[in-house]
A and B are shown apart, each in its own frame.
Chain A
Amino acid sequence: ELQLVQSGAEVKKPGESLKISCKGSGDTFNTYWIAWVRQMPGKGLEWMGIIYPGDSDTRYSPSFQGQVTISADKSINTAYLQWSSLKASDTAMYYCARQVASAFDVWGQGTMVTVSS
């Protein structure tokens, strides 16, 4: 059974870069699509984009295109979400999740990113 384990909480300053990770274990990570979902404090869920680690095929939500980069390293069963220049508005919990058909059936525990001067 697939498990997704995310990297730990981060506190950054505006303008800094950041890369967070999502490591899969226990199943064939590279044969499923992995999505990233944002949840701002006290708010709902927002789909950011998705990657197929097997060939790194990536799709972005129009709302997040150009704002973040999604990547993967299939040799270590890990997907990444990165920012080149963080803003205070990037403060949120970020989840990775496995997409199977039309739903997300396995979720990581979340990575809290705080951006503050």
Chain B
Amino acid sequence: EIVLTQSPATLSLSPGESATLSCRASQSVSNYLAWYQQKPGQAPRLLIYDASNRATGIPARFSGSGSGTDFTLTISSLEPEDFAVYYCQQRSNWVTFGGGTKVEIK
């Protein structure tokens, strides 16, 4: 099973600041890496697929990069609605999710 490790566990930032979230895989997943946003009481929402492609309707302030084992989700300027939990997910070998990064208001 491929293990995805997300860091940091919690990111405390202010609106307008930039957020950088990391996801590291225990072995290469090529570019089969997606990112999701989840707010309390809601289902996850797809943000990025295939490491760097924004899903339909996702604002340009969200961007993804990386390949192989190291991936990054960047939110260029945090809006109030961006404070949430973010998960990475791989589909290279079965499907696994990372443990999540909570982006909270500082």
Contacts and interface: CB of A to CB of B under 8 A. Distances in A.
Nearest to A106: B46
B33 to A, nearest CB: 8
A27 to B, nearest CB: 13
Interface in A52-106: 61-62, 95, 97, 99, 101-105
Interface in A10-49: 35, 44-47
Nearest to B6: A44
Interface string B85-106: 0010111101111111000000
A44 B99 contact: yes
A37 to B, nearest CB: 8
B55 interface: yes
Given A95-B43, A108-B43, A109-B43, A103 B89 contact: yes
A60 to B, nearest CB: 10
Interface of B: 1, 32-34, 36, 43-46, 49-50, 55-56, 87, 89-92, 94-100
